[in-house]
Structure 1
Amino acid sequence: MLVDSHCHLDFPDFQSRLPEVLSAASGAGVDRMVTISTHVARMEIYRALAEAHESVFYTVGTHPHNAALEPDVPAERLIALSHHPRCVAIGEAGLDYHYDKSPRDVQQRVFRTHIEAARETGLPLVIHSRNADEDMIQILSEEMRRGRFDAVLHCFSSGEKLAQIGVELGLYVSFSGILTFRNSEEIRRIAAAVPHDRLLVETDAPYLAPVPYRGKTNEPAYVAHTARVLAEVIGVTDHEIAQLTTANFYRLFAKAAVADAEFRRAPA
């Protein structure tokens, strides 16, 4: 079993073919996936996806691109929305200085609000970080001193320093199809140095399809290709990487394990 720890099943790419996408994922051994919130305003859509499909969990949060559209969602609102049994994390939230679609000070403020919600709920925070390593390190270090919270650096494509400090702070690191790209030697080197108990895999579908599907629409089934490359990087078998990353997923996203257990106990 593999878990796609980060995808966007609500995006238009999947609207007309979601049953096919979920079936392909199951056929590839990808039995669980987390559809990630980018707008709090779309929460009913994420919730409906998770309620309709046993294999799907969801999160609550505002992507940094959309921070200016949702600048004042309080932590209390995020916390209240996270109470649904299939909502397993806060985010994705963070900093994106590559596109700068929202002012940086707004991104930072919204990010800190999400950290507060993660800390209060005990749910992991899904972190987006692009071209913002120094500010990300500063905020994570400051906020961790204020009180611990669990988190994952998703779709890791940043520098070695952020990975190292993230691990030191207790964070997990998730790798996407970028890991499989020919010019990603540095990312593979960083992945090799991450402790095995902090590794996750994801697609970030519909983006960043791994080799051999690069340039096509990504989907959860393709996480198996990223997992295969990660297995080669750290020197384990495909079976072992599936076991390892799935165990790590359920350790970090502990609410998902509770939801699965309750589903199995429910009467037919």
Structure 2
Amino acid sequence: MTHKTGSPTILLIAGHWLGAWAWDDVLGHLESAGLHAVAMTPPGLDPDDPARAARTLDDQLAAILDVLARNGVTASEPAIVVAHSGANFPVTLLLDRRPELVRRVVWVDSGPVAPGSAFAADLPQDVQDLPLPPFDVLAQQASLEGLSTGVLARFRARAVPEPGPVLRQRVELMNDARRRIPTTLVCCSIPSAQLLDLAREGHPMFAEVANLEHLDVVDLPTGHWPMWSRPRDLAEVIRSADRPAPR
């Protein structure tokens, strides 16, 4: 499948435990605006994949490149890539390896990772995967603001354990071109002023933000899953990113 409508492909990638289904509400708003948006399920998060727990960040990068190619994305027709939460690891690899394919990256309550980073480098090797924790535990790590009991029930029912290799793998980054890609930070559970302060102070989770050369910041106050709590507003933020990159 290729895409030729005059507007860039928008690729949506959700964070841990989530597949393409997590973007259903946002996709509806983007498509009604006439935009070509595609959501993908990264390797390791397909419940029907028998080798799911063995998938790696390299597998996820390869799958992202395949989806981009199948949608006609090239260096002359680059995509807008939207990465939520833990999707920042494979998407940072994409920006490092193939920056020419990305017109703009939109980080949703997320951001680029630093060289050598791993989400959970100390996760024991005998841990095959990490299931979605109980919500009272999860709420200590990420805000559940705006999520109804029905949404939480769907999250619980459809969540897929995150593969151990994805969590343990350190990213090797070599290409400073990743820092020149136009970037939008969508700040949901942490206000942008606080996040930028943390970046300037060198906080390990946000330090790479200080190295970005073309940065827009948008506050969208809600919890860590705005695709469910504020889907229309998030779609509008993504739609507004559909503009020519600075030269």
Q: TM-score range by the shorter chain?
A: 0.3 to 0.5
Higher relative contact order (Cα pairs below 8 Å, separated by 6+ residues) = 2
TM-score for the superposition, normalised by structure 1: 0.34
Please identify which structure carries the higher helix content. 1
TM-score for the superposition, normalised by structure 2: 0.36
